[in-house]
Structure 1
Amino acid sequence: MKSVMPITALIALLGASSAMAANLTIPMAFEYLALDGKKIESSVFNHKSDISLENGTHKIAIRYHDMIQDDFSDSESFIKSSPFIVTLAVDGDHDYQLMPAEGEVIKRPKTFAKAPQIVITRTDGGNVNYKVAQTDIKEDSFVSKLFGGNDGKDIEVAAAAATSTGVAVAANAHTPAATPTSSVEAATLPATLPANASDADHAQQMLQYWWLHADDKTRKEFMSWAIQQL
């Protein structure tokens, strides 16, 4: 007796197939900023390592963001690159993996941050059609972002604009374009003032956290501002 699949099961199967999507994974030392003109919510406290991608061409803004050991002391600091734009052509339900071109371990983070060299592979070994373009979008410093009101540059907004349809970004397939000026900035805090005691305590903890992980330039800027407030 021939088995016949019920029509409801067939519809469910077709629906599931159409909902399937590709996946792009990035390491902890990278962060998503924008996808196809929309910001991607992420932070050092809530790292987003995977995004789903439907079939078609996508433009994804990513940057290198890592904590490194200071060369002359035992302290650590954050290092960030300017965003780079990945244009990826998705043609199926594939798992894509982004990695530094030099391997999992980045030997010279500051040099790497000037123009991150990356490769994208598929877990099934298939060909990957992608391009990488460096940008010179720079994030405002810790001090100007904290105390500059609403005039500070929102790098997520800039990254979203760079990934919008119709934005031309020069790039070579599989190879970043011309090396931009280095953009190594310290991590920033939200420019909102505490409304109550618990918020103030939280703000103090965050200030202490970022101070411990800020670079020397950022600390000097902050100290200069703080002295002027006395």
Structure 2
Amino acid sequence: MKIDEYLETLPENLLSGEDVELPEKSLKEIFKIVDLKKDDVFYHLGCGSEKGIEIAKKEFQVKKAVGIDNNCKKIENAKKNLKVKQIQAELICQDILESEISDASVILFWFTDENITNQMLEKFEKLKPETKIITIWGPLPDCIPDKVDFPYIINKVPFKKSKSMQEQLLAIFGVKCVDFVTAWEFAERYTKAIGSPEIKNDRFLTIIQTLVIWINAKKLGVACGDEIPESIQTYMKLMKMNFDIDFEPMLKE
């Protein structure tokens, strides 16, 4: 089975984080890292539930909190929950590409679809100066982060454009090239951040993420050395032998 075929078998794109609810501890970490304050206008794009909005309003006492998601069922449920908790906030069922976010000062944006990200980048660039955009796992395209506490990345308007992939890599990972140790460390941080409900699966997911990180780095020309590290080869073989998951096609793409 090719790795892309395997990924399709996972529920709701677990590895990418799409449609995965961030645990409360991660949301609180994010808000502390971004220094969320009382005078902030906070937007959670792709909010899913009311968790992020509730914490922003209740614990960080932001001036305004808005959650936007195109899943109307989730939005309606989130509205009911906030009403019961007597928390004043806006929850909107809408495609984020059509959203009005001009008054935002802090935005949490967790999407992996390149098309959506590129379109939203155009909207973000028009926001007022010092607006903070928080992404998870990856930075905004071709941008140098203002702050990194991986997997959480913060970019501020106006964005600083990277001159090269290596420059962006250094800003995010603190290294000039990606080796096995770097790939593993950051894959592990990401796995812990998204809070897999099945802890026993965390190591398995970390291995897959490590391989994906290193192979992508190799394809982008930012992996350390020309040869495939022994550790990477070993994990690729284990995945092939024990789980029939083949990473070789990904290397050849």
TM-score normalized by the length of structure 1 = 0.29
Q: Which has the higher strand share?
A: 1
Q: Which has the higher helix share?
A: 2
Larger radius of gyration: 1
Higher RCO structure (Cα 8 Å, ≥6 apart): 1
TM-score normalized by the length of structure 2 = 0.27
